[in-house]
Structure 1
Amino acid sequence: MVKEDILARYLAPLLRGDRGACRCVVEETMQSGIPANSVYLHLIWPVMAEIERLSRADRITSVQEHLATRINRTIVDQLQNKLPRRPARHKKVAVCCAREELQELGAQIIADLFESDGWEVRFLGGGLTNDDVFAFINEYAPDILFIYGTAPKQAPDVRRLIDRIRSVNAWPDLRIVVSGGLFNRAEGLWEEIGADGFAATAAEALQVAADESQVADPERRTVNRRKRRPQNAEQEVAGATA
């Protein structure tokens, strides 16, 4: 487990944009015996979440947020080949970001950890339309579609994608799991949009994937149903983002 003082030592140079100092903290952490997957789970991910929180609260500048995000992505790229490799599970997962999602790092971390855990992975990233994702699902036929999103405005588009997949019903065993700040801040949103599961963290993503009993009930899998969110839904989502 990564100690909290290491998190603080990493966050400070991250906000300064000091790439070398950040690399030193990560290298020292791994030299102390902490494996790469723990660095992903207990250093990079929580610091990523903290950067997002600080940015949303206007406690850091846009420049600091950009510097921190790019350093984190560089670190993750360097650590990827140091992750352990477990035996193949003969299961496939496609990981994508909600449309217009600018923060791909969380999805990239999840994709890397799935690959480390023995899954066959396709990481689509962001910037794709629902048509693009739908066509890929049709071709690749994954066991799980993992959707990552951070902004409230993305919820309707994610719902439309899920509804379209359900309406075709060509993949009745496909499980759809969501993650990211959008779903962390709006309790129950993942159920409302018809997903089969929700992961608040990268560690939970692997746990949810391993639990094959976690499938949306028929009521939540019904497309074009009336939304159950109260009339003040927008305020709830907006309040969760504060």
Structure 2
Amino acid sequence: MIKQITYLTFLDALLAGDKLLCQSIVKNLVDNKIPVETIYFDLFQKVMYRIGTMWEKNQISIPVEHHATQIIDELISVTLNASQKEEGNGKRCIISCVDKEYHLLGAKMVSYIFELNGWDTIFLGASTPPKTLVNYVMEKDPHVVGLSNNFHLNFLRLLETIELIKQARPNQQIYLGGQAIGQVADKLPKEHEGVKIFHSIMDLNKHLKEISLQTA
């Protein structure tokens, strides 16, 4: 658990564009052996959700939101490089944002969580068209496809992507996450097997470690 004062100081530094202070805060957490999944969830994810809400309410400008995003993007890579990865487990995942979803940091952190747990991870980034994604899934044959959806306006695109993947690969495991998932979870189709929703990076990390224990 990261202290509230650390979260608030980091948030203020991000909004002020103070990259050096943000770097110092994260370095201190890493030096104190705070697990990367804790940094991702208790700091980065919560801060991103807060900044996203502020942007939606016009409480901050687009340049401020973009600068904060770029700072966190750099820090995500720093924490990964400072972390110890599990031995490769032979499993592969593809992580992508749904079509017209351009906020990719959550999906990027998810891809790193898979990587830290020993998965061969393919991160496609923002806004992958459904048919293109399905073709790539067919080519790469992943154990899991992870889809990120941060805005409720993209919900129909999320549904389309799930439907196309399941038509092509009925047994494909699909993991869903993102800020908007909690708002639309009850609207997702119930008939598809193997579609799982994760509301936080911590939940995903716990799930992946349970899988690792089951297959050990």
* Residues 108, 125 of structure 1: 8 Å contact kept: yes
Q: When the two structures are aligned, how many residues end up with a matched partner?
A: 210
Q: Aligned in 2, Cα 1:165/1:30: closer, same or farther, shift over 3 Å?
A: closer
TM-score (normalizing by structure 1):
0.79
State the Cα distance separating 1:55 from its structure 2 match.
1.7
Note if 1:149 corresponds to 2:149.
yes
Q: Which has the larger radius of gyration?
A: 1
State the Cα distance separating 1:210 from its structure 2 match.
5.9
Q: Which residue of 2 aligns with 1:128?
A: 128
Residues in 2 aligned to 1:211 and 1:130: alpha-carbon distance in whole angstroms:
30
Which structure 2 residues correspond to residues 1-242 of structure 1 after superposition, within 5 A? 1-168=1-168, 171-191=169-189, 194=192, 196-209=195-208
State the Cα distance separating 1:122 from its structure 2 match.
0.6
Residues in 2 aligned to 1:210 and 1:29: alpha-carbon distance in whole angstroms:
22
Residues in 1 aligned to 2:44 and 2:111: alpha-carbon distance in whole angstroms:
14
* Residues 95, 145 of structure 1: 8 Å contact kept: yes
* Residues 155, 184 of structure 2: 8 Å contact kept: no
* Residues 117, 208 of structure 2: 8 Å contact kept: no
State the Cα distance separating 1:118 from its structure 2 match.
1.1
CA-atom RMSD in angstroms: 2.0
Residues in 2 aligned to 1:187 and 1:174: alpha-carbon distance in whole angstroms:
19
State the Cα distance separating 1:107 from its structure 2 match.
0.2
Structure 2: tracts of 5 or more residues without a match: 212-216
Which deviates more from structure 2 when the two are superposed, residues 120-129 or residues 185-194?
185-194
* Residues 190, 197 of structure 1: 8 Å contact kept: no
* Residues 183, 190 of structure 1: 8 Å contact kept: no
SS at match of 1:188: helix
Question: What percent identity do the matched residue pairs reach?
Answer: 20
Q: Aligned in 2, Cα 1:137/1:30: closer, same or farther, shift over 3 Å?
A: same
State the Cα distance separating 1:101 from its structure 2 match.
1.1
- Give 1:166's aligned amino acid: K
Q: Which has the higher helix share?
A: 2
